[in-house]
Chains A and B, each alone.
Chain A
Amino acid sequence: MADHSDEMWNVPLRRRSRADLTYDAKSPSETRRHGITDTVDGHARESLPSPSSEVTKKWLVIGAWVIVPILALWWILAQMSLRSFWIQALNGLSFGAVLFFLASGFTLIFGLMRITNLAHGGFYLVGAYVGIMVMSLTGNFLIALVLSATAIMLLGLFTERVLLRPIRGLEKPEVLLTIGLTFVLGDLSLAIWGGDPMPVPVPGFLEGPFRIGDIAYPRYRLFVLVCAVAVGAVLFYIERKTRIGAMVRAGVDDRETVAALGINIKAVFTGVFMFGAFLAGFAGVIGGGFLSVLPGQDFEILLFALVVVILGGLGSLPGAVLGAVLVGLIDAFAKALVPELAFFTLFAPMALILVLRPQGLLGRVT
């Protein structure tokens, strides 16, 4: 242990001893200036809150949950007609659906393996391009969807087994490796498929508008919404009710115990990573149908997915749902009402959440 503490400080012994003395060698005013506070005092109060302040806080939270949406709704309805309100709401929800596919895979992988897969945006983009290719070869949307998602799943298998396995457990190198992978995937896509934006062709029966009352809305976007609800339901069922879901949930809580119980946790890891990649490829084809596919989309969609999980709470499936709906709606209404500030409207809620509730709306404190 003794020689290790040197490495811990990364400074020669002479300096280290001075650093150790910093706390008691300084006058109180100076210690305060260096950011040293009376921890015992501060934390004792935090851990033993008075009952009345707890209740006040609870009502404040509930009040915020009720009042903020009402105010937002009121402000939006004052700006636009009811008809365009519904259209924008559906736009937001369908974009949120695509974000949900991405964010749920991302959050599952993080929750279980503590790997932040920043290549998820790259997976999305390559999935969309493969979808376009298969679509132009076969003309069948379903085949394109399945083949492309499977291809990305295999890409995920390669990423997890070959690239990430050697640095398993080193969180930061893992993240940086996936960002390197994103650059490779994005640039190779540009080399193979070119830089022109293109859509994933949509099958005939999903083209054209669908009429509800006097609102005509693209069928394809409604189809995306239905897909999201179906996938979400399946995900929740798997997570809550099946044996595999139980393994994953147990793995999230305590990897070592799960492994000790005789479950091959490494296989579960690989499976979950592949499943997350599968969902990203799926999202690429589905999303490519109404968001055009072009270079640079990988980073943009990654940004949205990150905001979703930061808002909803990292590692939480319900959080991914809530975050995706919120981000989708915010993005749609912001683009319609304040187009110049479209990204700021994403930034503001994120900043608020991070300051007031760093673990995210539905996240758990670890």
Chain B
Amino acid sequence: MELVRRLSPTARLKLVLLAVAIGVGIALPYMVGSFLVGLATLALIGGLFSMSIDLLGGYGGLITLGQAGVSAAAGYGVGYMANRIGAGYMAQILTGLAVGLLVSAIFGVMAMRSDSVYFIMITLAQGMIVWGLSIRLNRITGAENGLTGIARPPGLTLYWQYYWFALGVVLVCSLLLYVVVRSPFGSAIRGIRESEGRMRMLGYNTSLQKLYLFMVAGFFATIAGILLVYLNQFISPSSAHLTASAIGVLQAILGGMGTLVGPMIGSFVLVFIRNVVSQYLERWPTLMGLTFIVVILFARRGIVGALSRGWRAWLRRRYGDELTGPEKPAELGADVALGAQLKATGPS
């Protein structure tokens, strides 16, 4: 109790919210039916996928539009072993992991010397090439028909079993991500986001750090890809398409880039909207594109950004200034503004 009392109000609020979220998460199968639990599973996996994008984009400043290529490659690894070879579950999962990591290592080497817009273009091309290959390599991927009949491991076959399993994996991954973000490596990554030149001057090999970051993010995207393929028991080229990557980015921005919880919130919101809207309207991509445009134009800090602003305003009114730390998350593209300011105020 003493420990709790010593925490700042913000930390206390965060702890309470986190506990409530995890509690609701665990109790969900008792509260709602199979359809909603299925949606929640999808949202959890999408959230993990989006977190991996956010690790690159929000923390490293490297926005990727090809992350679906990595997770789909992992999914195809699983699917190939299950559908074409008929291997056991261990072999399926290990193949999925290996393929995902290999692909992210290759992509990382290609992209590590670029930044900003160039990085977006390269990753977009990479993701779309995975999509193109999955359409053409009929023998391995089953082309447009995809790979079917990928059974879940025993003990995870029922919807609620798989939901709890996914919840557990996502929680462990979130914890790992939290450790990564708080480590010296995480600080170095944020430093590269703010000023790569300065980090190089400090002695960091920034390209190498970016490669590591790409592979760490690729690892989490791989996990998400494997979870997704067992959820759907099916994989097709559309899982590697730019649309899938862009949805991941949209979720991260909608929730709040540069925070770990933001992408998860964004994922739940988007999955929910999609399922409500698609009952009345066929034009989901239009709505998604419009959401993209509106969020970029008017809400670049996302949901978490807006909430934290409100909370900080309340705190300031109640306690005064000294308790409110620096604002989080940084606005998308804040580095540009900072760069301009450095230019204006720095030594000439």
Contact = CB atoms under 8 A, between A and B. Distances in A.
A9 B274 CA distance: 35
Contact of A15 (B182, B202, B330): B182
Specify which of B111, B333, B341 lies most central, judged by the most chain A CB atoms within 10 Å of its CB. Answer: B333
Interface stretch (A16-24, A148-156, A228-236): A16-24
Given A310-B122, A350-B110, A35 B117 contact: no
Contacts of B285: 183-184, 186-187
A333 B195 CA distance: 43
Contacts of B293: 163, 177, 180-181, 184
Contact of B117 (A23, A175, A354): A175
A8 B65 contact: no
Interface string A106-129: 000010001010100000000000
A1 interface: yes
B132 interface: yes
A183 B125 contact: no
Contacts of B333: 167, 170-173
Interface in A141-164: 163
Contacts of B63: 172, 175-176
A22 B326 contact: no
Interface in B87-133: 106, 109-111, 113-114, 116-118, 120-122, 124-126, 128-129, 132-133
A172 B325 CA distance: 26
B233 interface: no
Interface stretch (A59-67, A85-93, A316-324, A341-349): A341-349
A104 interface: no
Contacts of B187: 9, 11, 15-16, 18-19, 22
A4 interface: yes
Contact of A303 (B120, B129, B195, B345): B129
A8 B109 CA distance: 27
A314 interface: yes
A307 B286 contact: no
Nearest to A177: B296
A94 interface: no
B208 A175 contact: no
Contacts of A300: 128, 132
B84 interface: no
A302 B258 CA distance: 29
A9 B249 contact: no
B292 A179 contact: yes
Interface of B is mostly: helix
Interface stretch (A36-44, A73-81, A130-138, A246-254): A36-44
B39 to A, nearest CB: 22
A183 B116 contact: no
Interface in A1-17: 1, 3-4, 6-13, 15-16
A9 B191 CA distance: 7
Nearest to B243: A183
B137 interface: yes
Nearest to A7: B326
Specify which of B110, B195, B283, B336 lies most central, judged by the most chain A CB atoms within 10 Å of its CB. Answer: B110
Interface residues of A, number: 72
A303 B117 contact: no
Contacts of B132: 300, 303, 342-343, 346
B117 A173 contact: no
A43 to B, nearest CB: 8
Contacts of B282: 191
A306 interface: yes
B124 A118 contact: yes
A13 to B, nearest CB: 8
A15 B326 CA distance: 13
Contacts of B182: 15
Contacts of A181: 289, 293
A180 B289 contact: yes
Contacts of A350: 110, 125, 129
Contacts of B139: 340
B232 interface: no
Contacts of B124: 118, 302-303, 306
21 contacts: A3-B326, A8-B194, A12-B326, A13-B325, A18-B184, A19-B184, A37-B204, A167-B297, A170-B336, A171-B333, A175-B63, A176-B249, A177-B296, A180-B290, A183-B285, A183-B289, A188-B283, A191-B286, A306-B125, A343-B136, A358-B114
Given A35-B204, A38-B203, A303-B132, 7 more contacts: A6-B326, A35-B188, A110-B117, A172-B120, A180-B291, A183-B243, A184-B285
